[in-house]
Amino acid sequence: MDLVFLVDGTYTVGIATFNVIMAQIKDLVNEYEIGPDDVQVAVAVYGRELHDQFQLNDHLTKTELFAAIDGLSYPAGLTNTGNVLTETATTKFTPSAGRRENVPAITVLFADGTSSDLDGPAASLQAVSTVIALGFGGALVDTDVIATGPEYANRVYDASELSALFNFTADLLCEIGRTYCEGTHDHKTLDCYKALWEKSNCTEDGYSFPDNLTATEIANLDAMRTE
């Protein structure tokens, strides 16, 4: 996966909540192997535009990635979510920023505020990545507009419930990975499932397999999933 996190850094969020989000991002990506042949992660803090940030190909070990996340600052300020979505679409998913072909591209947005005229910017980001939109706090966040679909949107009304959003996101990342593997109808399909299950906690029941897998391969995958 190429995974981009957008974190609201505006004044309504507050430094305590901002720090909780950053810590939980680290917990979430800790489930994956990080590297140029595994999962790549970019993080950007935003307000009216993208502020403190790094690209997908900037930190390709878990140690480097976690240090970079710890180094991101909380800017406070105001929000222009539409501008942020457009900027993300044009700068985060390019080859120079580390975007790879033939792996899922995913944006995870954390938002405490709202903005007008989101349809066009949201469409531009949805064209280059699957967008998970997560709202928190008392402000009305247009998560259904920003997200790829309603099933990719969620919100909580209290920052103390942020862990629910991260559990929701973890499940979606597994589902996106499964869907990607199911759509890979060539010799790489088996390796795709192995990567999904060996390098993350995506081992729940309910997986269906493409027709090109043999009964032996499916049995081996089921055994791996339940180990």
- Each residue of 121-157: pLDDT tens digit? 999 999 999 999 998 876 666 888 899 999 999 888 8
- Show me where the domains of the chain are located: 2-181, 186-225
Q: Roughly what angle, to the nearest 10 degrees, separates helices 189-198 and 215-225?
A: 10
Q: Model confidence at 91, in pLDDT bands (50, 70, 90)?
A: very high
Can you read off the two tokens belonging to residue 219? 């049995």
pLDDT at 95: 96
Dist. CA 116–CA 2, nearest whole Å? 28
pLDDT at 221: 67
Dist. CA 25–CA 185, nearest whole Å? 32
Task: Tell me which of 1.10.760.10, 3.40.630.10, 3.40.50.410, 3.30.300.10 is the CATH number of domain 2-181.
Answer: 3.40.50.410
If you average pLDDT over residues 9-33, what whole number do you get? 91
Q: Which of 37-41, 84-88, 110-114 has the lowest mean pLDDT?
A: 110-114
Q: Is the pTM of this model over 0.95?
A: no
- CA-wise closest residue to 110 among 176, 32, 21: 21
Amino acid (one-letter) located at 186: D
Does residue 114 surpass a pLDDT of 80?
no
Can you read off the two tokens belonging to residue 209? 């397999």
Helix intervals (H) in 30-103: 62-70, 81-91
* pLDDT tens by residue, 218-227: 777 666 655 5
* 110 vs 209, more confident: 110
pLDDT at 190: 65
